[in-house]
Copies of this chain bind each other. A is one copy, B any other.
Amino acid sequence: MRILVANVNTTESMTEGIAEAARAVASPGTEIVGITPAFGAESCEGNFESYLAAIAVMDAIQRYEGEYDAVIQAGYGEHGREGLQELLTVPVVDITEAAASTAMYVGRSYSVVTTLDRTVPLIEDRLLLAGMMERCASVRSSGLGVLELEADPERAVEAIVAEAERAVRDDRAEVIVLGCGGMAELKDRVVERCGVPVVDGVQAAVAVAEGLVQLGLTTSKSRTYAPPRPKRVTGFPVPRAS
């Protein structure tokens, strides 16, 4: 099976990191294809950038010409999953939700450790809309921007572990979720340091997507995710600036 893993920002090296993390857990027969949007922000850290990413991901998926069995939207707390579900029939998995549902199977409550403080509300919104907030003990920020994760992995690990420890001690989290697509590469080192299971959203999403394909499930087209009605739409796919 082929799974498209869409980065939400325009940083290709991050797409690569995400795809590698995905491949590390994918089943033998699964091909992972990383997708980088053609426009948008170099990192998503707020609503404006996230809304832009929503369209940029839909645009990139729409322009992809091969076949595929599932799509993973690899932005933590990002907008857009519902739009993709309208446009496609194959399962669409948001990593925020995949991490949450996975974490709930191995602990009674989980905390998300994310990047900047300002992305906390976006993640909370996603979890609330997905109906997966009940067992979320907290969403905590490490204070690091998305690109800083790449620039200084040592510092990132320290900051993330520190928040994870606070989540376990103060918020009673029993599982830690890494709340940023770009954290995938750091996972093993965080696992080493934390006494509780650590879930990476991208990898969780691979397992969820493979599972949905395996079960033969596709997105319900009965109401919310029915295909857009036939009508005049301009500006999509987004015209390439010449």
Contact = CB atoms under 8 A, between A and B. Distances in A.
Interface in A107-142: 107-108, 117-118, 120-121, 125, 128-135
Q: Classify chain A's interface size.
A: 35 or more
Interface of A: 10, 25, 27, 38-43, 45-52, 54-56, 58, 79-80, 82-83, 85-87, 91, 93, 97, 101-102, 104-108, 117-118, 120-121, 125, 128-135, 145, 168, 172, 174-175, 195-197, 199, 203-204, 207-208, 210-212, 214-215, 217-220, 222-226, 228-229, 231-236, 238-239, 241-242
Given A117-B223, A174-B222, A217-B199, A235 B129 contact: no
Contact of A224 (B107, B131, B208): B107
Contact of A220 (B45, B134, B197, B241): B197
Give 7 nearest A-B pairs by CB, closest first.
A39-B235, A207-B211, A131-B134, A107-B220, A239-B241, A131-B135, A47-B82
Given A128-B129, A231-B41, A211 B79 contact: no
